[in-house]
Amino acid sequence: MIQKLKASVAVTLVLILSMTSVFASPDHTYAATVDVGAKSAILIDADTGKVLFEKEADLTLPPASMTKMMTEYLILEAIEEGTISWDTTTQISQYAYDISANPNFSGVGLKQNQDYTVRELYKAMAINSDNATTIALAELLAGTEGEFVKMMNEKAAEMELPDYEFVNSTGLNNSHLGDNFPEGTAPDATNLMSARSSALLAYHLTNDYPEALDYSSMPTAEFDGQTITNWNWMLPGMPGQLAQFSYEGVDGLKTGYTELAGNCFTGTAEQNGQRLIAVVMKSETRETRFQQTGKLFDYGFQQFEKQELFQAGYQQEEQKDMPVAKGKEDRVQVETSEALQTLVKNGEEEQYTVQYNISEDQLDEEGNLVAPVKKGQKIGTAELVYNGEDDYGNLLASNPNTVDLVTTSAVEKSNWFMLMLGNIGEFFSDIFTGAVDMVKGWF
């Protein structure tokens, strides 16, 4: 069930959560090898959604400009669907211009009565976290930011984000927007997400639209005759003293800061074909959010390795075959169609087993497969199960470490004469069994 918070009480709830979280125990105890100072954090495998670490990941907090990940997703989706293109042009509304001219917000200095392409606006949003270009894109796609906010919340529900409330496209507090706060939201409302929801949003963004990383990975870019700089200091190739924060393989994704939110960061990095996504929320400073993310990445890359635990064709010792009714053979062997692999923590290779899930629609009332059975026929699934102590689960509703369970050979249907003989045998067997039971009852 999607949990939404009413915007009118959002700030109050955030303050309550911030106070009570100090005294509340997190759902999971996290590994002592990772000491993350942020109030909330999570680390996931970007390929499968497997959670490798979490610290109070379900606290619902302001995400600040990490909100823009949803705006990015909707823009990229619209480009894919042909609603707009990278070359579509638009001009800046008075609302977007006022935000751009405010020195308190991230801004690239937009001009009115000038055409900007979607590509230009998207680059400024993704690289420089520009708020006015974000508003301009929202207005272009939906007509008004209020209508765009509806799209954001609908997409969040579709993605099954567990904790969220979007009230604007940028991540600013609505109070920053003056009279321009989006219709249908409260003037003092703020966007809300948990670290778990932020990680799931980043999972969808990077998997559905990997081209988002082409932009988020740029340390600098040219915009309207000026150089804009990425707020993600972990990117390799950052200029000057910012290079000290660089981390191998980082190519995204989104920073965030407001006074209410504190310092937030959703980062992603790839090393040796393995991609991780980390989220830290309410970190102390700009610097510590990157340092804490580096600790999470170190833990993930050093302690976990993708391993093939069960090869294709694996068979459980206790269930190598299944009974078959009305066939020329009375049993058929079953096996996995593909290998089962996952990120495995060092030394935990033996903590995994395979669970068979046989499809009921493949069985008769007695639990038999019914001939004819084809070779390679899917009869269910084989699921990789972790039996260790530190099970943080998966962001996704279904287990991605699941493959088809198939038959290894065909079983032809028995001919009518043999089926008739079998039925006659069953008939007399039933009579004999009944007679024996009746005789037993006499004595």
Please determine, for residue 416, whether its predicted confidence score (pLDDT) is greater than 60.
no
Please determine, for residue 359, whether its predicted confidence score (pLDDT) is greater than 90.
yes
pLDDT digits (tens, 9 = 90+) for 386-403: 998 878 999 998 888 999
201 phi and psi, to 5 degrees? -65, -45
Q: Determine the 3-state secondary structure of 90 from DSSP.
A: strand
CA distance 58 to 27: 9
Please determine, for residue 406, whether its predicted confidence score (pLDDT) is greater than 60.
yes
pLDDT digits (tens, 9 = 90+) for 34-84: 899 999 999 999 999 999 999 999 999 999 999 999 999 999 999 999 999
Please determine, for residue 415, whether its predicted confidence score (pLDDT) is greater than 90.
no
CA distance 134 to 131: 5
Q: Which band of pLDDT confidence, cut at 50, 70 and 90, is reported for residue 440?
A: low
Average pLDDT in the 292-302 region? 97
Please determine, for residue 417, whether its predicted confidence score (pLDDT) is greater than 90.
no
Catalytic residue numbers read: 65, 68, 129
Please determine, for residue 187, whether its predicted confidence score (pLDDT) is greater than 80.
yes
pLDDT digits (tens, 9 = 90+) for 369-387: 999 999 999 999 999 999 9
The pLDDT score that the predictor gives to residue 391 is 86
Mean pLDDT, the chain, integer = 88
DSSP 327: B
Q: ∠416-421-422 over CA atoms, to 5°?
A: 95
Q: How many residues does the chain have?
A: 443
The pLDDT score that the predictor gives to residue 103 is 85
The pLDDT score that the predictor gives to residue 263 is 97
Among 207, 219, 342, 215, CA closest to 277: 207
The pLDDT score that the predictor gives to residue 350 is 95
The pLDDT score that the predictor gives to residue 28 is 38
The pLDDT score that the predictor gives to residue 29 is 38
Contacts 24+ apart (CB under 8 A), 83-88: 83/141, 84/118, 84/140, 84/141, 85/118, 86/117, 86/118, 86/119, 86/122, 87/117, 87/118, 87/119, 88/117, 88/118, 88/140
- Write down the pTM of the prediction: 0.84
Tokens at residue 333, please? 């062997």
Q: Determine the 3-state secondary structure of 258 from DSSP.
A: strand
Average pLDDT in the 319-339 region? 94
Please determine, for residue 27, whether its predicted confidence score (pLDDT) is greater than 70.
no
The pLDDT score that the predictor gives to residue 104 is 83
pLDDT digits (tens, 9 = 90+) for 91-148: 999 999 999 998 888 689 999 999 999 999 999 999 999 999 999 999 999 999 999 9
